[in-house]
């Protein structure tokens, strides 16, 4: 057990979060805080990320985000690492399918069903790209296998963060310490406001270090929390985070659409 724990600790990835531009805050005005750019590139030489993050606890402490389907139809479906090739392999009953995916410390997780409506089952995988203190990034992979060939389509955490950047806006009121999150949905915009309990003023609303992909039966959900960088700190904190969630739909060419956002 000690050996396994040491191996797990040794492969934890620490991701470098790209900071956005500083937010200029006037004392008597509301400030729109745009989503910052982020990168999913791993950097082993990056300084250790230390924060008070708690929003990613469900990805690292065995809650529902970690649960895989244990029904009779899926008990023989799982992913492991081939000892000889060090490649990830899908095990589906007697079938073994090598796939080039990130495995990470927590995950990947897999389901099998007709995700794109073409009449054939695909493998739907939430791949663990990076984990660490305050970091939990997942991507989505669609694997089509048949007739002697395997086709993999990948959408990484940065892809989903870019969607957040396009469709989520935030504003901070310095006088009341209120953060308002607005989701620009197709049908109608939705808003969620939280009053921060910290006395320190907010410097930035941050996205990018936590990107969750949840597989629940035949549904895929994207979930990203708001991180808060205060003037007296440098790392995002996730106390009072707003959880931004949306369903993910896959079409017949493995293209995806992110549906309307829900704010909680």
Distances (CA, A) of 44 to 13, 15, 49: 7, 8, 12
CB 260 within 8 A of CB 253: no
Q: Is the pLDDT of residue 138 over 90?
A: yes
How much is the pLDDT for 86?
A: 85
**How confident is the model over 10-44, as pLDDT tens digits?**
333 333 333 333 333 333 333 333 333 333 333 33
Q: Looking at residue 134, what is its pLDDT?
A: 86
Top-confidence residue, 210 or 47: 210
Range in 36-45, 116-125, 219-228 with the lowest mean pLDDT: 36-45
Q: Does the pLDDT at position 221 exceed 60?
A: yes
Structure confidence at residue 201 (pLDDT): 96
Sequence length of the chain is 264
Structure tokens at 103: 């495995």
User: Given a cut of 50, is residue 52 above it in pLDDT?
Assistant: no
| 175 pLDDT more than 70 | yes
- Tell me the two tokens of residue 118: 């073409």
Q: Residue ranges of the domains in the chain?
A: 2-263
Distances (CA, A) of 39 to 127, 137, 152, 242: 16, 11, 22, 21
The pLDDT of 39-62, averaged and rounded, is 38
Cut 0.75: pTM above it = no
Q: How far apart, in whole angstroms, are the C-alpha atoms of residue 103 and residue 231?
A: 36
Higher local confidence (pLDDT), 218 or 44: 218
Q: Report the chain's mean pLDDT, rounded to a whole number.
A: 79
Is the pLDDT at 172 greater than 70? The verdict is yes
Are β-strands 210-216 and 190-195 bridged in parallel, bridged antiparallel, or unpaired?
A: unpaired
Residue 137 has what pLDDT? Answer: 96
Instruction: Give the integer Cα–Cα distance in Å for 169 and 162.
Output: 12
Band of the pLDDT at 217, cuts 50, 70, 90? confident
CB burial class (10 A; 0-12, 13-18, 19+) of residue 124? buried
Instruction: List the alpha helices (DSSP H) in the chain.
Output: 2-10, 57-60, 157-167
Can you tell me the distance from the alpha carbon of 155 to that of 255, in angstroms, rounded to the nearest whole number? 9
pLDDT bucket at 204, cuts 50 / 70 / 90: very high
- 13: Cβ contacts below 8 Å, ≥ 6 apart: 42, 44, 104, 129, 130, 131, 132, 135
pLDDT above 90 for 72: no
């Amino acid at each position: 057990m000690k050996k396994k724990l040491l191996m797990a600790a040794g492969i934890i990835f620490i991701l470098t979060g790209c900071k956005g531009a500083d937010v200029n805050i006037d004392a008597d005005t509301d400030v729109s805080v745009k989503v910052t750019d982020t990168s999913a590139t791993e950097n082993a030489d990056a300084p250790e990320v230390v924060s008070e993050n708690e929003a990613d606890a469900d990805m690292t402490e065995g809650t529902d985000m970690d649960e895989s389907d244990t029904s009779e139809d899926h008990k023989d479906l799982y992913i492991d690492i081939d000892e000889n090739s060090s490649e990830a392999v899908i095990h589906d009953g007697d079938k073994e399918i090598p796939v080039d995916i990130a495995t990470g410390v927590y995950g990947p997780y897999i389901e099998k069903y007709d995700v794109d409506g073409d009449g054939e089952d695909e493998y739907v995988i939430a791949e663990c790209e990076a984990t660490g203190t305050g970091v939990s990034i997942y991507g989505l992979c669609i694997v089509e296998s048949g007739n002697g060939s395997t086709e993999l389509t990948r959408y990484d955490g940065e892809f989903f963060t870019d969607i957040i950047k396009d469709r989520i806006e935030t504003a901070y009121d310095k006088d009341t310490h209120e953060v308002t999150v607005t989701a620009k949905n197709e049908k109608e915009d939705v808003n969620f406001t939280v009053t921060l309990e910290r006395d320190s003023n907010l410097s930035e609303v941050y996205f990018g270090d936590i990107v969750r992909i949840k597989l629940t039966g035949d549904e895929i959900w994207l979930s990203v929390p708001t991180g808060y960088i205060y003037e007296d700190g440098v790392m995002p904190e996730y106390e009072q985070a707003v959880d931004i969630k949306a369903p993910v739909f896959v079409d017949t060419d493995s293209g995806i659409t992110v549906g309307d956002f829900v704010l909680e």
